[in-house]
């Protein structure tokens, strides 16, 4: 990590994950050159981790997730565990671009997932047909005899 003055202009020169990056900042101001170097590093890190940059700002969450699984040197067992985990959040976010996912969307996902887990706990000892029957009656606005009185 260095800012070097070569002739009239400053250059950034650093190594990230074994690859050397050296280029002119095209400025004579050292502070601006340092800011450019930081910006370039951030863009490289974002690109390596499939996060939104100016170049991939229209990247869908599903595509970023697939890139993450492919590019992070995961074992097949780890990939399997991550795919099982993705079963819950991928349907919620898959058609959104990365910059379009807002903190409110993440909170809504957490809330929906919590309600789903609470529902599973509540219905743990009931048969699947009974659970579906009760859900259908609730959606149709039909009250059971015990709650009608």
Sketch the domain layout of the chain as residue ranges.
1-48, 57-99, 102-138
Q: Would you call 77 exposed, middle or buried from its count of C-beta atoms within 10 A (0-12, 13-18, 19+)?
A: exposed
Tell me what pLDDT residue 92 has.
82
Q: How high is the pLDDT of residue 149?
A: 42
Q: What is the pTM assigned to this prediction?
A: 0.41
Q: Please state, in angstroms and as integers, the Cα–Cα distance from residue 119 to each residue in 35, 91, 113, following that order.
A: 50, 19, 10
pLDDT for 12: 92
pLDDT one digit per residue (tens) for the chain, 149 residues: 689 898 899 999 988 888 899 999 989 999 999 999 988 888 888 777 766 566 666 778 888 777 777 766 677 888 788 888 788 788 888 788 877 888 888 888 888 888 888 887 776 665 555 545 555 555 545 554 544 44
pLDDT of 23: 92
Q: How far apart are CA 44 and CA 54, in angstroms?
A: 11
């Amino acid at each position: 990590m260095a800012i070097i003055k070569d002739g009239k202009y400053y250059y950034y020169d650093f190594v990230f994950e074994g690859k050397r990056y050296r280029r002119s900042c095209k400025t004579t101001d050292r502070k601006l050159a340092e800011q450019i170097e930081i910006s370039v590093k951030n863009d490289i890190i974002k690109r390596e981790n499939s996060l939104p940059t100016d170049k991939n700002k229209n990247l869908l969450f599903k595509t970023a997730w697939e890139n993450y699984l492919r590019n992070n040197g995961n074992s097949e067992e780890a990939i399997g565990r991550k795919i099982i985990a993705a079963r819950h959040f991928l349907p919620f976010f898959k058609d959104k671009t990365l910059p379009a996912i807002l903190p409110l969307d993440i909170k809504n996902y957490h809330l929906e997932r919590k309600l789903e887990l609470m529902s599973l706990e509540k219905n743990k000892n009931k048969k699947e047909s009974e659970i579906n029957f009760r859900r259908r009656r609730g959606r149709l606005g039909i009250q059971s005899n015990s709650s009608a009185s």
